[in-house]
Every structure is written in structure tokens, then in C-alpha cells.
């Protein structure tokens, strides 16, 4: 009877230990922290979204006959009359400056766009970090698709970045709406004010909010963005300078990442495996290396390893105790 009781207690202990191990691993690896204390400078860069000045940049020409019709504008890397100048500063930052050749009577907002061509970017639990200074008004667009009218598949970030200063900020999605900074309201189409901006925002939450508000067409983005997983395509980035020839945007940092003190953000293993299988060859190796570089691990593998170790230890302990009990019986 004593032997059966001991073995039963050991079995229960093994089950409890295994459950605790599973719960512990899951909690640590899947629950990101969203604390207010973070550092842009110390954040872990998961995906840089700031092209170099030497990259291919497209813009419209100052003599484009369709300056007032955004649906017909032609973006080119070799404009006849440049509207913006893209250059690198002495500190390595990216500077976008409006040229003096623009016709201010027709148009006072111009941008420079560069292709990112990033497919299935995992953004769940990550943040969009930014560090820039604006002289004059500005905006930053991330294009989620390369189909149709560019403005229908882009998310405008100025309203979210300005509203990011306050916990109670509200975005107004009515077309052309202008917010009231004193009331912490910001229009989606509103350009940012001059100043220095340094912080982070939840890109996935912003995109979902823009879809809900009708500012971004849901059909233009991957369906799994709205489900658990959080993947998105980032085809290009556009930096806007608005107002006049002195308008300048100097960007030091612009990337997707996470705080070094946050739990590791893990990409779902099934989706990662599917992506690697479809890409194949060199891209598959790159996917694996990126995951390893971020310190990510497959939570199911880690959990199974812990469970096996616990069970083995308990079984060995049971065998030792059983041996001791049998030995005592023989002596009696």
C-alpha cells in the first residue's frame, strides 16, 4: 500500500510540474509588455524602414501637368525639375528638403518615396520607433500594397505620432477633418507640426484603427493582419515636406523593433515554416537566421523539452524510492 501511495504521489507531482512548466514558458514568451518606460536609442531593431540617401527615390516633377490631380501624378527617379532633395547629413541621418523650383501657387506639398518591398512582415507585439526633426509641416506614409491609387493603400502616420503624446488622444477620420491639439484630437489627413519627435507607436493597432475609420481599404492588405498573427506587407515609404521651400524633414531613426527588456516577440512557427517553404532556397535560410538573430525560439519545442526533463527526473526519483522500499522489506 505504501508503495502504491508513493508512486501515486509522484505521478501527481509529475503532472503538476509539467503543467507549471508549460504555463511558465507560455506566459514568458507570448505576453509582451507595453510599459511607458522605453528608449528609442536602446531598442532592438527588427526591421529598418529608413532607406539610405543613395537608394532609389521617386518624386514628381515640378512641371508635371497634373499637379492638382494626385491620381494622375507620375513618380520618377529622374524628374525634369526636382521638387525635393534627398541627402545624407554629416551624422548619417536622412534629410528631405523641398526645392526652390516648386510652384507654390499650384502645390505646396511634395514627397520622396522609396521602395521597401517587404512581404509578410511580422508586426504583432512590435513597435514603430521614430526619431526625427521637422522644419515646417510633414507627414510619413507607409504603403501596404502596390495596387490601385496609392493613397487608398497607404497609412498616414502624422496623426498617430502627434497623438502619441497623450493617452486620451482621438483620431478624426472624416475626410479633411482638422483636430484641436488642446483637446488632443487630430485629423487623419492632417499634417504634422514643426518640432522634434522621438518615440514609438503600435503600428498594428494604428492600421486596424485606420481600417475601422475607413481611411485604409481592408481589401488592400493581407487578411491575416486582422487575425492573431499580425503580418503586413510594406511596399514603400514616403516622406512628405509641406508648406514652403524651407520645409525640411531630418530622420535619424525609423524602424520596427521592440524594447530590450520586453519578452521576446515570437513569430508563429506554423506561419514561419509556411513562409520559408514557399520562398525556398536562400530566402529560407535568411528567415531562419533572422529568427535566431532576434533571440526567438519555438515555444512548443522549449515546452516539450522541459516536460521531458521533468518527467525523466520524476521517474528516476520513483525508481530510487522504490528500490529503497523493496530493500527495507527484504531486510525485515
Residue 106 scores a pLDDT above 70: yes
Q: Do 107 and 241 have their domain in common?
A: yes
Q: Do 54 and 164 have their domain in common?
A: yes
pLDDT value of position 115: 95
Q: Do 258 and 281 have their domain in common?
A: no
User: What are 137's strand-pairing partners?
Assistant: 242
pLDDT value of position 7: 46
Q: Do 234 and 328 have their domain in common?
A: no
pLDDT value of position 176: 84
The whole-angstrom separation of Cα 130 and Cα 206 is 15
Q: pTM of the prediction?
A: 0.69
Q: What is the pLDDT of residues 257-279, one digit of tens each?
A: 998 887 656 676 544 434 443 34
User: What are 187's strand-pairing partners?
Assistant: 172
CATH number at residue 156: 2.60.120
Mean pLDDT, rounded, for 185-195: 95
Q: Is 19 helix (H, G, I), strand (E, B) or coil?
A: helix
The whole-angstrom separation of Cα 328 and Cα 314 is 21
pLDDT value of position 237: 96
Mean pLDDT, rounded, for 53-66: 95
Residue 137 vs residues 57, 71, 112, 190, 243: alpha-carbon distances, Å: 20, 22, 15, 10, 6
Count: domains in the chain: 2
Q: Do 225 and 270 have their domain in common?
A: no
Q: Domain limits at 137?
A: 39-262
Q: Do 21 and 124 have their domain in common?
A: no
Out of 230, 262, 294, a domain closes at 262
Q: Do 224 and 331 have their domain in common?
A: no
Out of 245, 262, 279, a domain closes at 262
pLDDT value of position 68: 86
The dihedrals phi and psi of 5, each to the nearest 5 degrees, come to -65, -40
Q: Do 184 and 276 have their domain in common?
A: no
Q: Do 11 and 22 have their domain in common?
A: yes
Q: Tell me which residue of 268, 262, 295 sits closest to 32, measured CA to CA.
A: 262
Q: Do 18 and 76 have their domain in common?
A: no
Q: Do 253 and 208 have their domain in common?
A: yes
Q: Do 230 and 316 have their domain in common?
A: no
- Structure confidence at residue 148 as a pLDDT band (50, 70, 90): low
Q: Which residues contact 143 (CB under 8 A, 6 or more apart)?
A: 113, 150, 153, 154, 234, 235, 236, 237, 238
Out of 262, 289, 305, a domain closes at 262
Amino acid at each position: 500500500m505504501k508503495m502504491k501511495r508513493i508512486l501515486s504521489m509522484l505521478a501527481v507531482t509529475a503532472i503538476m510540474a509539467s503543467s507549471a512548466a508549460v504555463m511558465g514558458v507560455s506566459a514568458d514568451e507570448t505576453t509582451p509588455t507595453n510599459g511607458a518606460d522605453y528608449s528609442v536609442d536602446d531598442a532592438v531593431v527588427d526591421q529598418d524602414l529608413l532607406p539610405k540617401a543613395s537608394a532609389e527615390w521617386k518624386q514628381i516633377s515640378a512641371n508635371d501637368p497634373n499637379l492638382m490631380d494626385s491620381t494622375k501624378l507620375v513618380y520618377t527617379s529622374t524628374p525634369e525639375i526636382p521638387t525635393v532633395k534627398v541627402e545624407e547629413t554629416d551624422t548619417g541621418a536622412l534629410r528631405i528638403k523641398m526645392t526652390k523650383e516648386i510652384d507654390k501657387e499650384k502645390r505646396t506639398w511634395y514627397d520622396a518615396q522609396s521602395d521597401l518591398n517587404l512581404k509578410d512582415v511580422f508586426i504583432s507585439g512590435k513597435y514603430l520607433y521614430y526619431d526625427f526633426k521637422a522644419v515646417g509641416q510633414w507627414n510619413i506614409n507607409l504603403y501596404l500594397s502596390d495596387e490601385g491609387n496609392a493613397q487608398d493603400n497607404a497609412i498616414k502616420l502624422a496623426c498617430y505620432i502627434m497623438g502619441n503624446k497623450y493617452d486620451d488622444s482621438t483620431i478624426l477620420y472624416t475626410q479633411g477633418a482638422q483636430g484641436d491639439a488642446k483637446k488632443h484630437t487630430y485629423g487623419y489627413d492632417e499634417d504634422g507640426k514643426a518640432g522634434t519627435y522621438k518615440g514609438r507607436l503600435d503600428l498594428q493597432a494604428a492600421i486596424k484603427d485606420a481600417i475601422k475609420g475607413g481611411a485604409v481599404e481592408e481589401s488592400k492588405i493581407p487578411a491575416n493582419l486582422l487575425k492573431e498573427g499580425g503580418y503586413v506587407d510594406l511596399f514603400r515609404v514616403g516622406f512628405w515636406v509641406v508648406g514652403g521651400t524651407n520645409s525640411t524633414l531630418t530622420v535619424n531613426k525609423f524602424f520596427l523593433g521592440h524594447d530590450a527588456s520586453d519578452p521576446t516577440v515570437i513569430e508563429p512557427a506554423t506561419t514561419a515554416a509556411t513562409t520559408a517553404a514557399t520562398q525556398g532556397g536562400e530566402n529560407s535560410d535568411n528567415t531562419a537566421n533572422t529568427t535566431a538573430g532576434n533571440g526567438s525560439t519555438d515555444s512548443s519545442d522549449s515546452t516539450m523539452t522541459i516536460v521531458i526533463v521533468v518527467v525523466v527526473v520524476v521517474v528516476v526519483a520513483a525508481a530510487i524510492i522504490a528500490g529503497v522500499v523493496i530493500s527495507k522489506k527484504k531486510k525485515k
